[in-house]
Amino acid sequence: TMTRHEWAAEVRRLARERDAVILAHNYQRPEIQDVADHTGDSLALSRLAASVEASTIVFCGVHFMAETAKILSPEKTVLLPEPEAGCSLADTITADDVRAWRAEHPDAVVVAYVNTTAAVKAETDICCTSSNAADVIRSIPEDREILFLPDQFLGAHVKRVTGRDNIHVWMGECHVHAGIDGATLRERVAAEPGAELYVHPECGCATSALYLVGSGAVPQERVKVLSTGGMLSAAESTTAGKVLIATETGMLHQLRAANSTTVFEPVNPRAECHYMKMITAEKLLGALRAGTTEITVDAATASKARRSVERMVEIGS
């Protein structure tokens, strides 16, 4: 058996041999985040997938992320170390659902969260991630009706921050973030009255967090609704003694590494995405050795989805 150090050295050696770049999402296991060339949120990783020089991308994340990388870089080989790593949110809508919904609103602009299959993306006008969702909505003329899919909590959040009332929202959810609910949040906030709060907009508690601010229970400056990349930037400069984190618990690894004087604690320590955790040390090594599993998107679907995804990559900071 290999030590952790030998494993990392072997992963790096095989990646060089394959001319591969390793990209890891912020929810990956700590050892995967540490061995990767780049760790980041969905938007940052999509931008990297579009711009890196390497001929192969090993995507340590879930299936829709590897598909998005392939759509943006069709000439590259994209490997997903565990092809069964799916997403409960992406599973809440099909391409047929989008076509039927659009037929009911023929003049609407269809905005899709990046957590969707390539087939769904091909039926949409523009994609977004949690870090640029509001900017994507603002890029659409105010008088246009909008269909936002598939996440109901992110949808409610963008409606609130943009102030637009002509946005229809698909009622999907991510089981991990939906499980970080208002009751759990209120309990944690009551127990930690001085702490800051970073909330991912996919959370069931995103509305409750703003209600806590609105009712005066928590001062406005202590509550931030952020993507995982936004959480990391905020963590680097905070002077708070403690920050409560409402998102998947893999995020804590990056936050703690970025700032060792602040204490970061999960709002719900059971909020773990088993799909993200399917990428293990052994799986990554096996993928690099065998060149598996290659993710492909058929050419017709990819070219339709590409317009939507390229717009996403261009919008927001």
Q: Which residues bind ligand SF4 (CB under 6 A)?
A: 62, 87-89, 115, 174, 176-177, 248, 273, 275-276
Interacting residues toward ligand 13P by CB under 6 A = 26, 41-43, 115, 129-131, 202, 227-228
Shorter beta-carbon distance to ligand 13P: residue 92 or 227: 227
**Residues contacting 313, CB < 8 A, separation 6+:** 43, 46, 47, 50, 72
Which of the listed partners (ligand 13P, ligand SF4, none) does 88 bind, with a CB threshold of 5 to 8 Å by partner kind? Answer: ligand SF4
Residue appearing with tokens 């799909």: 275
Sign of the torsion angle spanned by Cα atoms 41, 315, 199, 65: negative
Shorter beta-carbon distance to ligand 13P: residue 169 or 250: 250
Shorter beta-carbon distance to ligand SF4: residue 181 or 192: 181
Shorter beta-carbon distance to ligand SF4: residue 62 or 66: 62
Shorter beta-carbon distance to ligand SF4: residue 153 or 264: 153
Cα distance between residue 123 and residue 131, in whole Å: 22
Q: To the nearest whole angstrom, how small is the minimum distance from the Cβ of residue 101 to ligand 13P?
A: 22
Cα 145 versus chain centre, distance: 25
Which of the listed partners (ligand SF4, ligand 13P, none) does 130 bind, with a CB threshold of 5 to 8 Å by partner kind? Answer: ligand 13P
Cis (ω within 30 of 0) for the bond into 293? yes
Q: To the nearest whole angstrom, how small is the minimum distance from the Cβ of residue 316 to ligand SF4?
A: 19
Which of the listed partners (ligand 13P, ligand SF4, none) does 60 bind, with a CB threshold of 5 to 8 Å by partner kind? Answer: none
Shorter beta-carbon distance to ligand SF4: residue 65 or 72: 65
Q: To the nearest whole angstrom, how small is the minimum distance from the Cβ of residue 5 to ligand 13P?
A: 28
Residue appearing with tokens 């679907």: 301
Which of the listed partners (ligand SF4, ligand 13P, none) does 232 bind, with a CB threshold of 5 to 8 Å by partner kind? Answer: none
Q: To the nearest whole angstrom, how small is the minimum distance from the Cβ of residue 65 to ligand SF4?
A: 8
Which of the listed partners (ligand SF4, ligand 13P, none) does 36 bind, with a CB threshold of 5 to 8 Å by partner kind? Answer: none
Cα distance between residue 76 and residue 231, in whole Å: 30
Which of the listed partners (ligand SF4, ligand 13P, none) does 275 bind, with a CB threshold of 5 to 8 Å by partner kind? Answer: ligand SF4
DSSP of 292-309: -PBP---HHHHHHHHHHH
Expressed in angstroms, the distance from the first to the final Cα of the chain is 44
Q: To the nearest whole angstrom, how small is the minimum distance from the Cβ of residue 81 to ligand 13P?
A: 16
Q: To the nearest whole angstrom, how small is the minimum distance from the Cβ of residue 248 to ligand SF4?
A: 5
Q: To the nearest whole angstrom, how small is the minimum distance from the Cβ of residue 253 to ligand SF4?
A: 15
Residue 308, phi-psi category: left (phi > 0), alpha (psi -120 to 50), beta (remainder): alpha
DSSP helix/strand/coil, 317: coil
Sign of the torsion angle spanned by Cα atoms 195, 201, 204, 209: positive
Cα 28 versus chain centre, distance: 11
Shorter beta-carbon distance to ligand 13P: residue 58 or 226: 226
Answer yes or no: are the C-beta atoms of 229 and 27 closer than 8 Å.
no
Answer yes or no: are the C-beta atoms of 316 and 131 closer than 8 Å.
yes
Which of the listed partners (ligand SF4, ligand 13P, none) does 73 bind, with a CB threshold of 5 to 8 Å by partner kind? Answer: none
DSSP helix/strand/coil, 123: coil
